[in-house]
Structure 1
Amino acid sequence: MTPQDTARRIIDANHYLTLATADRDGRPWASPVYFTPDGGTDIYWVSRPDSRHSLNLTARPEVAIVIYDSQRPVFTAEAVYLTAHAEQVPDSDLIRCTPTYRSRLPDLTTFTPEHLQTPNPLRLYRARALEASVLLNNDGPDLRVPLTLPI
């Protein structure tokens, strides 16, 4: 299995990622978010615009993301690391992007474009990967291999 294949398997098998943001002064914050991948470079999630990580994105759109299975035994971890640019999806893109987010949630009747606009409390967010690497569990701990985008 190639590193690209391993990364794709990790992304497809997991539903939560850790989103690392920083505020205007550089204070870090990490949040778990349910996500849906799209095309190997974009990742979508839903959040409140007044949550700490969403407010941080307004000040600094640069983020770091890690996708991994937290149930793996010690020294067998695999993970996908991304640096990305994140933003709230503009209302004009919701009709195109919302079905992608909902693709992992086919029975969910909420999270339509109408549910993700004012006056409702949630918004759709997107991170576009700029760099990616994968942590492989072969050849010893912490072997990180750069990936080619899209994954």
Structure 2
Amino acid sequence: MRPSEENARGIVEASRYLVLATADAEGRPWSTPVYFAHVGCREFFWVSSPEALHSRNISVRPEVGIAVFDSSVEIGTGQGVYVSALAAELVDGAERALEVFSRRSLGHGGRVWTVDDVRGDSGMRLYRAVAGAHSMLAKDGRPDRRVAVELQWGCSGLHPGSGSAVPRGGGRGPGSWITDRIGPSAQFTTHVRKLPCPLRPPP
């Protein structure tokens, strides 16, 4: 499978779990699989305990790595999507994200998630990672070489059973700078290029 936007999206759509790589303040690495939903292969959402090691790592070091792949394919035929991202507990805009997460969860036989499920003494929190770059294996005969893949935001709506809906409307044009508060103290700015349609600002 060659690296392309179409193939990258197909891998993400077909996968229920991503592998989340984190590190603590001293740089000690950790990785864990999490069930996820996404918006446009750019925003990735999952639910975890804030006491889990990967959650604690994110609270002190928001830079994460993500790998999405099919582990059932034959040896030598595998392909994956590699993502560098910034992650944090999602506080503002949780309702929108939970709609996306619940839609995919229901499509896979799971349940609806509400704000009460990720607040207070529930023991769970909602997290989001915003992608900065995507890459795939080059598949050009050179071993383990990755190449960048540009993923544009899509406007085709929700794929059945997935969480890949892209909201319509809004006022952010191509090349705009977007600043989102994604946690109680984490704020960062992401440059989004070549937007086929503007995104509605999070609530």
Q: TM-score, normalised by structure 2?
A: 0.69
Give the number of the structure whose alpha-carbon radius of gyration is greater: 2
Q: Indicate how the Cα distance of structure 1 residues 109 and 11 shifts in structure 2: closer, same or farther if over 3 A, else same.
A: closer
Tell me the distance in 1 between the aligned counterparts of 2:76 and 2:111: 40
Deviations 1:67-102 (A, max 9, x none): 000111111010000000001001x32111101111
**Structure having greater relative contact order (Cα 8 Å, sep ≥ 6):** 1
User: How large is the Cα RMSD of the aligned pairs?
Assistant: 1.7
Tell me the distance in 2 between the aligned counterparts of 1:2 and 1:23: 31
Q: Which residue identity is paired with 2:14?
A: A
| Matched residue SS, 1:44 | strand
Tell me the distance in 2 between the aligned counterparts of 1:122 and 1:52: 13
1:142 to 144, 147, 161: 144
User: Contact 1:63–1:83 at 8 Å: present in 2 too?
Assistant: yes
Give the fraction of aligned pairs with identical amino acids, expressed as a percent.
38
Bigger share in strand: 1
Q: Matches of residues 77-96 of structure 1 in structure 2 within 5 Å?
A: 77-90=78-91, 92-96=92-96
Q: Matches of residues 1-151 of structure 1 in structure 2 within 5 Å?
A: 3-90=4-91, 92-106=92-106, 108-136=110-138, 138-140=139-141, 141-150=143-152
User: Contact 1:89–1:126 at 8 Å: present in 2 too?
Assistant: yes
The offset of 1:43, in angstroms, is 0.4
